[in-house]
Amino acid sequence: MTLIITFLCLILAGLLAYIFYDGILVRVLKGKTVLSVRLRKRNYLDQLILAVLLAIIFISNTVRGENNAVMNSVLILLVITLLYNTLIHAPSARFKADGFFYGLEFTKYDQVKNMKLSEDGVLVVDTQRRRILLYARKIEDLEKILNVFVEH
């Protein structure tokens, strides 16, 4: 049981570290933010299903009488964090003076090789290392993003 608790604690710590990094640290890293754009959520249903499954595990442990306080606390915190990440937190791209943050990665503007715009509002940014897909919520956001790329 302690191996499971340790594993769940590691997942919880990683998720909390990502939320802290994306919500607070990215705002201060690499200088002033030129533009911050909220993007469309992906894998929304998968995250919600995972949170519901963990809630079911918590309920089944409670009904069976397994009152392990540490396990129940970790499960509740994990469910709350997953629900926050699914329902409230939205992915975003933050554009700085010399590059942009998307996900966990900072990409400099000079590493961008090619950009394409699809019909369904996805900006495809090809870099030297990988292809980044920015799912914009509004067409106006795409125009703002393209203006930042043109300026820099």
Strands 99-102 and 92-95 turn out to be antiparallel
pLDDT tens digit sequence for 56-73: 988 888 888 877 888 888
Confidence (pLDDT) at 133: 87
- The sheet carrying 122-127 orders its strands as 112-117, 122-127, 131-135
pTM across the whole model: 0.76
Give the burial class of 43: count Cβ atoms within 10 A of its Cβ; 0-12 exposed, 13-18 middle, 19 or more buried: exposed
Residue with tokens 């993007």: 39
Confidence (pLDDT) at 17: 92
Q: Are 37 and 141 in contact (CB under 8 A)?
A: yes
b/e for 126-143, b at 16 or more Cβ within 10 A?
A: ebeeeebebbbeeeebbe
Confidence (pLDDT) at 14: 92
Q: Indicate the pLDDT class of residue 10, thresholds 50, 70 and 90.
A: very high
Confidence (pLDDT) at 1: 63
